[in-house]
Amino acid sequence: MLLYQVGVDLKLLDTRSGRVLPVRPRLRYTTPQAAPATIIRNARIIDGTASGSQFDGGLWDILIRDGRIARIEPAGRLVSGAASELDAGGRAVLPGLFNLHWHVPWPGTPEVGSAAVALAHGVTFLREMGGNIEPDWVQSLAERIEAGQLLGPHISFVNRVIGMARHSASVDVDPFDKQTVRAQVERAKATGASWMKPYMKIPPVDAEAIELGHAAGVPVTSHFLFGGSLARGLDGKEHAFLYYRGENAIYREDIISAVRAIGTQITPTLAIILLRGISEPLDFTLLDPAWLSSFYAPSILADARLRLKAWVPIPAQDRVLAMNLENVRRLYDAQVPIPIGTDIAAPWQEMGVPLEMQLYRKAGIPPREIIRLATLEAARCVGVDRDLGSVEVGKLADLVIIDGDPLADFRVLQNPRWVIVGGAIVTPAEIAKSLQRE
């Protein structure tokens, strides 16, 4: 028999029969003393909800109690009482950002605290997409953050990638061995993985993985949009590329109609095209914040600066980007969910959400809608919108306070003044210090 934990639940596995039984211990415990209440004064709230326009044209006070938003009132109406105060000074306050395609770095990568770096850039929720490291390690990281042992964003994760992805260190699941695939599906369910991720270029095998995942109650996201996979209710697709038709392929109306009808979400990850050599190089100021040097080995930032300095444009990549911008616009117009995700190497991965948002804007999507796609829509796609994704009473106080106007220029999101996660207010420099203590 094997006893193990999944989230807050205990399970008992009979190693002979494979049967899993729930364990319900009777425990008594004392909750830690709640952090003091906090009022964020003079906030310019920018929210992606349909009712978010109610905040336009004025400043607001936000009362945070027990890690959640307790009240929102016009500036000056909240009495502080015993609450501490932070004056936002008219700065923009947004919901914490989401990145739904993030990878823990490869083992041995000279990078420190990738998840914490994302938090320093205002990202308060990550979906780890597997491939570089065992999901058990990611699960441990997520649990340590939720337990307050580490500063970082909320993390959901996929199980070990199932398929034939040559770039993936942890892809060792033979897609043709049904018993092995079924075992990985059960493993995903047992370890609390939020998603399954097959990477298989053979339509019947991809479709079968979806069937097995759904039978176990685990949603499935794939790299492909095969007809058989859509017919089986594919939950998500990673990357805008239609791989089997080429990176320049357009989404036909029949594909868009099927995706919309099924409710498949597509995470475009347009930012990966940026680093391939489009004519317009990345902005050098991305690497300006002094606190970045606390997160990365010197070689990471030196290589990034050298790459920008020696930028070589490749016209073919301009065409790839233009076609996929058109695809994103077509998907948006058809009301297909297109949450924000990045999937690019360090240090761009951690700062990639604003880059992706800029590309959505190039696709012609309105700025406030892009903020919704990076917050509330992304929260809905991973099933956490009851607690996250918007500035609303009752939700967790995961917020970002920004200098400048993100509706005019998403680049201001690169360097937050403060990040609030679960009511705890931190600066990027303080997050860096927390890593040094670790």
| φ and ψ at residue 204, rounded to 5 degrees | -65, -35
What is the reported pLDDT for 433?
Answer: 82
Residue for token digits 């040094």?
436
Own/partner pairs, 206-214, CB within 8 angstroms, 24+ separation? 207/231, 207/232, 208/178, 208/181, 209/162, 209/175, 209/181, 209/185, 210/234, 212/181, 212/182, 212/185, 213/185, 213/188
Residue for token digits 């790839």?
320
Across the range 358-377, mean pLDDT stands at 96
39 pLDDT above the threshold of 50: yes
Lowest mean pLDDT among 41-45, 86-90, 155-159, 373-377: 155-159
What is the reported pLDDT for 50?
Answer: 64
| CB-based burial label for 204 (10 Å; 0-12, 13-18, 19+) | exposed
Of 421 and 34, the one with more pLDDT? 421
What b/e sequence results for 358-373 when a residue is b if at least 16 CB atoms lie within 10 Å of its CB, and e otherwise?
bbbbebebebbebbbb
pLDDT confidence bin for 117, thresholds 50/70/90: confident
Across the range 119-142, mean pLDDT stands at 85
What is the reported pLDDT for 13?
Answer: 81
Q: What sign for the dihedral angle of Cα 317, 319, 322, 324?
A: negative
Highest mean pLDDT among 102-111, 213-222, 298-307, 428-437: 213-222
Across the range 351-361, mean pLDDT stands at 92
What is the reported pLDDT for 33?
Answer: 47
Closest by CA position to 157, among listed 199, 188, 190, 115: 188
Of 7 and 351, the one with more pLDDT? 351
Across the range 45-74, mean pLDDT stands at 87
Q: What is the DSSP string of 192-227?
A: T-SBB-EE-SSHHHHHHHHHHHHHTT--BEES---H
170 pLDDT above the threshold of 50: no
Q: What is the percentage of the chain residues whose pLDDT exceeds 90?
A: 45
**Amino acid code (one letter) for 266:** I
Across the range 199-221, mean pLDDT stands at 86
Lowest mean pLDDT among 286-295, 386-395, 396-405: 286-295
Mean pLDDT of the residues in the chain: 84
Lowest mean pLDDT among 5-9, 59-63, 79-83, 146-150: 5-9
What is the reported pLDDT for 168?
Answer: 47
What b/e sequence results for 4-39 when a residue is b if at least 16 CB atoms lie within 10 Å of its CB, and e otherwise?
eeeeeeebebeeeeeeeeeeeeeeeeeeeeeeebbb
Of 385 and 304, the one with more pLDDT? 385
pLDDT confidence bin for 32, thresholds 50/70/90: very low
Across the range 247-254, mean pLDDT stands at 86
What is the reported pLDDT for 42?
Answer: 96
Of 188 and 255, the one with more pLDDT? 255
389 pLDDT above the threshold of 70: yes
What is the reported pLDDT for 132?
Answer: 65
Highest mean pLDDT among 214-223, 289-298, 429-438: 214-223
What is the reported pLDDT for 287?
Answer: 80
pTM value is 0.88
**Contact indicator for 367, 297 with CB cutoff of 8 Å:** no
Phi-psi region of 357 (alpha: psi -120 to 50; beta: other; left: phi over 0): alpha
**Encoded tokens for 346:** 């360090």
pLDDT confidence bin for 7, thresholds 50/70/90: low
Q: What sign for the dihedral angle of Cα 308, 329, 98, 374?
A: positive
Across the range 224-239, mean pLDDT stands at 93
113 pLDDT above the threshold of 60: yes
What is the reported pLDDT for 107?
Answer: 52
Write down all domains in the chain, each with its CATH number in brackets. Answer: 96-390+428-437 (3.20.20.140)
3-state secondary structure of 364: coil
Across the range 278-295, mean pLDDT stands at 77
Residue for token digits 């097959």?
198
What b/e sequence results for 246-259 when a residue is b if at least 16 CB atoms lie within 10 Å of its CB, and e otherwise?
ebebebeeebbebb
**Contact indicator for 237, 267 with CB cutoff of 8 Å:** yes
Distance CA 123, CA 265 (A): 20
pLDDT confidence bin for 297, thresholds 50/70/90: confident
Across the range 354-367, mean pLDDT stands at 95
Quick one: angle between helices 367-374 and 352-362, nearest 10?
Answer: 140
Closest by CA position to 190, among listed 25, 16, 20: 20
Of 51 and 359, the one with more pLDDT? 359
